[in-house]
Structure 1
Amino acid sequence: MRRQASPAMKRFLLAGTAALLLAVSPTSGQAQVTAFKQAVAESVSGDEAVAAFYRDRSFEPLWTGADETHRARRAALLEALGTASLHGLPAARFDPSRLMAEMRAARTSRDRGLLDVTLTEAYLEFARTLGSGALDPSRVDSDLKRERVTRDPAELLAAVEEGDPRAVFRTLAPQSREYVRLMREKMRFERMVSRGGWGPAVPSGKMERGATGDGVVALRDRLIAMGYLAPTVTATYDRKMEAAVETLQADHGLAIDGIAGGATLSAINVSAEERLQQILVAMERERWLNRPEGLDGRHIKVNLPEFKARIYDGETLTFETRAVIGSDEGGRRTPEFSDEMDHMVINPAWYVPRSIIRNEYLPQLRRNPYAVSHLQIINSRGQVVNRSRGFGSNFPYSMRQPPGPNNALGKVKFMFPNKYNIYLHDTPTKHLFDRDRRAYSHGCIRLGDPFGFAHALLARQTSDPEGFFQERLRYGNEARVNLEQPVPVHLIYRTAFTQAKGRVQFRDDIYGRDARIWAALDRAGVALGRGES
């Protein structure tokens, strides 16, 4: 998004350029050149990438020269820094007026050398933040197992040195369609907030078609303000109001019944300000996922608060299914991270995680050695242990459930080996997929249509994926099937996300992670913009 320099900014630029020109007057001589280069060399000594860049250009200026090329770079940088709030970044961190003041104050060649490095550092910090996020995810929540992937400083510096600076700045933010749509929604919600939001909350209770009264009028006004209902003076819960509620329910992942009850009214009564916060958090999360690999080709995304798993080819949706995720209890919440799926196992055995053995099964075995009889107890040599001896405080064994119709992993699991022991799998407890809120597992992700998921993955490497899968399924034994090309997997957490067509979608913050991220963004200086009324 391009923003023109304001008149005040243009005046600052002219004043700064005039000051910079003083430092290269004909009377300066070699001493000023040496002072400039010495100042640059001293300033970059602690950053090897920046130091190497300036060494390669013999410590010549990148920003502070007097010609049109340098003026264009300075203007592009200051204009870009002025857009920080448009991206939901801390505006004070990138205040262009501070740099313009330093430009006006630069009187000597040494001042100009120090300023050149300051502008370079401002550029690199802005590029890192806009491209990879304002926060370190792991410091916000221990279950955010995601590291920010930043662009190489040498690459960023070469780009602004060699290319059109405004074009370079346009490439710094995530280029995904999702990010662009989130920015658009951010501006739309800012306008709503500036106009007072959606008005009074709707009283609690239950309303359905045919209802009348003050609650229906409050619901009507709220739906109109939110854009779900055309302006009307009706005081009766009619079919149009019912249809508006159904659309809202679909946009919030609720059961679609047209009845304004508990969960629906809770969603309706979330303020526009809170929804704007969710969008700002989603933009930060999109920056965390702004990776050079893994999103252009085939990849898998599991959006935890949406309880959905999807396969994409580029930005085209290839397959989706419902999912069950970890319950909202200590140690069971599904973490967020990215990895690569490299194989599936058909007819898998379940090797019980040590934490489940310790916390759930071992207490039962100490009371009754024949408890949980559907599980085998295995020693270090792979032999089944005789349970008649009982089990004391020492339990040097593993536990395994053989393949079968009641196996906890169902009939197939999808592996992207990781240190968190998280994977995708089938399950015999199919009834959970009928629920709107599906957080019940120990942390792994159960799929509603695992066979369809397998067929979609195998379609890349066999002409008959269903036949290939069913043949191995009929054998009944464990069968590992390698994916000829590993598929990136991204476990994400989006309570606000967009659609190519349609309204922005919202979901509950089931683990409270978005609340923690927003609190951190707020502390960092991210403000709720007020838009234009």
Structure 2
Amino acid sequence: MRKTGISYYKYVILLGFCLLGSSYANDIDAQVKAAITGKINSSGGASRIMCANKLRCSLALTTQQYNQESSTILWSHNGKILPNANQLIEILQNSYKDALYPEDYHLSIINQLTQQVSSAPMMQPPIAALADLDTTLTDAFLLYAKHMATGRVDNLAVYPTWTISKRAVNLPDLLQKATHGGNVTQVLNGLTPTYPGYLELKSQLEKYQNIASNGGWGQIAAGASLKIGSKGTRVSQLQKRLAITGEYTTTEKTTIFDKALKQAVMKFQAHHGLKANGIVDKQTLQALNVSVNQIIKLIELNMDRLRWLPLQTSKQYLLVNIPNFSLDVMESGQSILNMPVIVGKGANRSCVLSSKISYIEINPYWSVPDSIGRKEILPKLQQDPNYLAKEQMNVYNGSFANPPIDPSRIDWKKVNPNNMPYKFRQMPGEKNALGNIKFIFPNVCGIYLHDTPTRNLFGRNRRDFSHGCIRVGKPVELADYLLSDKPNWDGDRVESQIKSGKRQIVYLAEPMDVNIIYGTVWVDNNGELQFRNDIYQIDNVDYPVYLPKESITETESDDNE
């Protein structure tokens, strides 16, 4: 009985400590929550509260999260940092591997706050630091998830003419899922784009980040073109430059431009869309002297643009790359049909978008856009009243639903382009600007793929000539592919319908995904990094480059060798 009594008293004492500890823990969390409430109250109704003393939260969603009556402390308990917070911090530290910038997510402040919390005495938890840490981590989570899901660059702010249907992501729901019994790492990794090419670019990004951390490369001095037989310091500089990126693999030491170096130069030129003649002319030298940090920025920008697109779920789709002037029919990540394309020029940029081709039009009409009618057709009519007849065009008053009118009854020189009521439509035939086939997919830009009578332009290296629609180099082959599942529509049927001259709309058995991207850097099917000219000057945006270590000055050269 005596032993039992002693055990009983021990149990009572232990229970008292447990209850005291529980009360103490609840008191800490209550104080932290009260401190966060104080932040919100002191904001005066502003959409963004102060995450820390000198940092305003970047997203209004963070304020909304803590404004809810049901809001809780997410990243600590009983004054101790939770494992899910450590998972998030690790992801933020490594965000540069996904072409993101760790300091966007307040990493330095988070590290300071975690150190402050971890080093505090057990019975004296830093309430203010815990409140700052909770709001800062929440803001970092939401902003990182937003960037990973839909891109760091705001396309509407930087490229207002491109209306992109991004994937829908509910950020507050993600936060709840990650912090309430979920796994932060698993939730955030689920946002990684599955779009083909993203992971390949990520691998190349790591390669160039390592090059930068090891010092990058020096500049090749200006001078005469380098070619077979050239000698001297500039040849050595060229060898070193190409050896760093892997085009030049010869270990034999020489300062003479030989066949091996020519092959390396040709490989580099092919990767940059240059004429692969093995001669380092002014254009090739300029590409060679682009700094490693600039290449990292280009890779990161292109990864970011891939994040704009919705997740690719279909194994079959059309991929148009505007700067490469190319269209690929993709199946299971491989191109099974490739063709050149002509894209929009200047102010008439082709749009970046994702849609589905639902039907094709054989022997189509060309309903001339009003802007082209005012700016191009009307001036030609004023010079030549027979222009419409020569181009097989009809004119309509107000609407194509009205019957066509006789253009000879109109004094075109008196027509004001600013309030012109007339519309023009070109009939099917050899003059038709859309050629023989038109491929239709819904999009707010009002563009489509189509054939063209000016096929000689496909022989040009740079092919931005259109008003925004995309002209395809192999329209019949593309139509055959799209209609391959359609009964009674083989290649011969398409050709036969074209020859008939009759307009016909043919719906696909299943709509086909089409993705139009703007890729100035990508990885080809051979695993080679490809670069193309930034024809729309889209890459001229602020995108900070983060490196795990500082690189040495890239502008130093080997002139003193």
Q: Per the shorter chain, which TM-score range?
A: 0.7 to 0.9
**Range with bigger deviation, 95-104 or 332-341:** 95-104
- Alignment map for 1:291-302 (pairs within 5 Å): 291-292=310-311, 294-302=312-320
1:126-165 aligned within 5 A: 126-146=144-164, 148-160=166-178, 161-165=180-184
Aligned counterpart, 2:11: none
- Counterpart check, 1:469 vs 2:494: yes
The equivalent residue for 1:390 is 411
Change (3 A) 1:355 1:53: same
1:527 offset after TM fit, Å? 3.5
In terms of mean alpha carbon deviation, does 495-504 or 211-220 score higher? Answer: 211-220
Aligned partner of residue 278 in structure 1, secondary structure: helix
Q: CA deviation at 1:426?
A: 1.0
- How far did 1:497 drift? 0.7
Measured in 2, the distance between the counterparts of 1:511 and 1:231 equals 40
Question: What 5-or-longer segments of structure 2 have no aligned partner?
Answer: 1-19, 48-59, 118-123, 553-561
Amino acid at match of 2:499: R
Tell whether the 8 Å contact from 2:163 to 2:444 is kept in structure 1 after alignment.
Answer: no
1:64 aligned to 2:87? no
Partners of 1:71 and 1:33 lie apart in 2 by 13
Match of 1:326, as an amino acid?
G
3-state SS of paired residue (1:379): strand
Do the aligned residues in 1 keep the contact of 2:322 with 2:518 (CA within 8 Å)? yes
Indicate the structure (1 or 2) with the bigger Cα radius of gyration: 2
Q: Which residue of 2 aligns with 1:511?
A: 536
Task: Give 1:280 shift.
Answer: 1.6
- Aligned mates of 2:384, 2:244 — CA distance in 1: 61
1:102-141 equivalent positions in 2, closer than 5 A? 102=113, 104=116, 107=125, 116-141=134-159
AA matched with 1:515: N
Give the whole-Å Cα distance in 2 for the aligned partners of 1:30 and 1:167. Answer: 29
Range with greater deviation from structure 2 (110-119 or 462-471) = 110-119
Distance 1:515 1:462, change over 3 A: farther
Q: Are positions 1:285 and 2:305 aligned together? A: yes
**SS where residue 306 of structure 1 aligns?**
coil
Of residues 203, 206, 210 in structure 1, which corresponds to 2:222?
A: 203
1:179 corresponds to which of 191, 198, 203: 198
Normalised by the length of structure 2, the TM-score is 0.78
What CA distance in whole angstroms lies between the structure 2 residues aligned with 1:210 and 1:283? 40
Verify: 1:479 aligned to 2:504, yes or no.
yes
Match of 1:527 in 2: 546
Partner residue of 1:339? 355
Corresponding residue SS for 1:432: helix
Q: How far did 1:378 drift?
A: 1.6
Q: Deviations over 1:118-176 (max 9, x none)?
A: 43333222211222222211211333333543521244134313433333333233244
Moved more, 427-436 or 91-100: 91-100
In the alignment, the residues of structure 1 paired with residue 403 and residue 229 of structure 2 have an alpha-carbon distance, to the nearest angstrom, of 67
Kindly indicate whether residue 393 of structure 2 is the aligned counterpart of residue 376 of structure 1. yes
Taking a change above 3 Å as real, the CA distance of residues 30 and 90 of structure 1, as seen in their structure-2 partners, is closer
Q: Using the alignment, how far apart are the partners of 2:517 and 2:328 within structure 1? A: 11
How far did residue 271 of structure 1 move?
Answer: 2.6
CA contact (8 A) 1:72 1:165 kept: no
Find the counterpart in structure 2 of residue 315 from structure 1. 333
Q: Residue type matched to 2:219 in 1?
A: P
Does 1:78 pair with 2:89? yes
Superimposed CA distance per residue, residues 15-58 of structure 1 (whole angstroms, 9 cap, x where no aligned partner): xxxxxxxxx944548766766666677869977899689979x5
Find the counterpart in structure 2 of residue 273 from structure 1. 293
Structure 1 residue matching 2:447: 3-state secondary structure:
coil
Q: 1-side partners of 2:538 and 2:225: how far apart? A: 30
The 8 Å contact of residues 61 and 172 in structure 2, kept in 1 or not, is answered as no
SS class of match (1:320): strand
Q: Is the 8 A contact 2:218 2:237 kept in 1?
A: no
| Structure-2 residue corresponding to 1:436 | 461
2:436 to 382, 395, 411: 411
Partner of 1:325: 343
Matched, 1:305 2:340: no
Structure 2 CA distance for aligned equivalents of residues 34 and 67 of structure 1: 11
Q: List per-residue Cα deviations over 1:271-323 (Å, max 9, x = no partner).
A: 3222122112112112222x24x454432221111111122235333322111
Q: In structure 1, the residue corresponding to 2:161 is in which secondary structure? A: coil
Is the contact made by 2:95 and 2:102 (CA closer than 8 Å) also made in structure 1?
Answer: yes
Query: Aligned AA for 1:407?
Result: N
Deviation at 1:508, TM superposition (A): 1.1
Give the whole-Å Cα distance in 2 for the aligned partners of 1:76 and 1:531: 25
Indicate how the Cα distance of structure 1 residues 209 and 463 shifts in structure 2: closer, same or farther if over 3 A, else same.
farther
Equivalent in the alignment of 1:13: none
Once residues 29 and 305 of structure 1 are traced to their aligned partners in structure 2, the CA distance between those partners, rounded to angstroms, is 59
Query: Helix, strand or coil for the counterpart of 1:460?
Result: coil
1:358 paired residue number: 374
Aligned equivalents of 1:29 and 1:72: distance in 2? Answer: 17
Render the CA deviation track for 1:172-228: whole Å, top value 9, x for unaligned.
Answer: 332445222222212211222233333232535445445556655554443334321
Q: 2:273 aligned to 237, 253, 260, which one?
A: 253
Counterpart CA distance in 1 for 2:306 and 2:314 is 14
DSSP-derived class of the 2:197 partner? helix
Over 3 Å counting, the alpha-carbon distance change for 1:221 and 1:232 in structure 2 is farther
Q: TM-score, normalised by structure 1?
A: 0.82
Distance 1:224 1:28, change over 3 A: closer
> C-alpha separation between the residues in 2 aligned to 1:32 and 1:241?
68
Structure 2: how far apart are the matches of 1:176 and 1:482? 27
Question: In the alignment, which residue of structure 1 is the partner of 2:54?
Answer: none
Structure 2: distance between partners of 1:110 and 1:269: 50
Residue 50 of structure 2 corresponds to none
Q: Which amino acid aligns with 1:257?
A: N
Larger mean Cα displacement after TM superposition, 410-419 or 226-235: 226-235
Amino acid at match of 2:207: R
Residue equivalent to 1:14: none
What SS class does the counterpart of residue 409 from structure 1 fall into? coil
Cα distance between partner residues in 2 of 1:213 and 1:39 = 69
RMSD (Å), alpha carbons: 3.5
Write the distance in 1 (CA, Å) between the matches of 2:274 and 2:240: 21
Q: One-letter code of the match for 1:386?
A: P
Deviates more, 1:200-209 or 1:331-340: 200-209
Aligned CA distance change for structure 1 residues 250 and 370 (closer, same or farther; 3 Å): same
Relative to 1, partners in 2 of residues 1:532 and 1:86: Cα closer, same or farther, differing over 3 Å? farther
**What amino acid is aligned across from residue 322 of structure 1 in structure 2?**
P
Q: In 2, Cα distance between the equivalents of 1:166 and 1:211?
A: 54
Amino acid at match of 2:329: I
Question: Which amino acid is 2:201 matched to?
Answer: L
Q: Which runs of no fewer than 5 residues in structure 1 stay unpaired?
A: 1-23
8 Å CA contact 1:145–1:337 kept in 2: the answer is yes
- C-alpha separation in 2, matches of 1:29 and 1:434: 74
Alignment identity in percent?
A: 29
Equivalence for 2:10: none
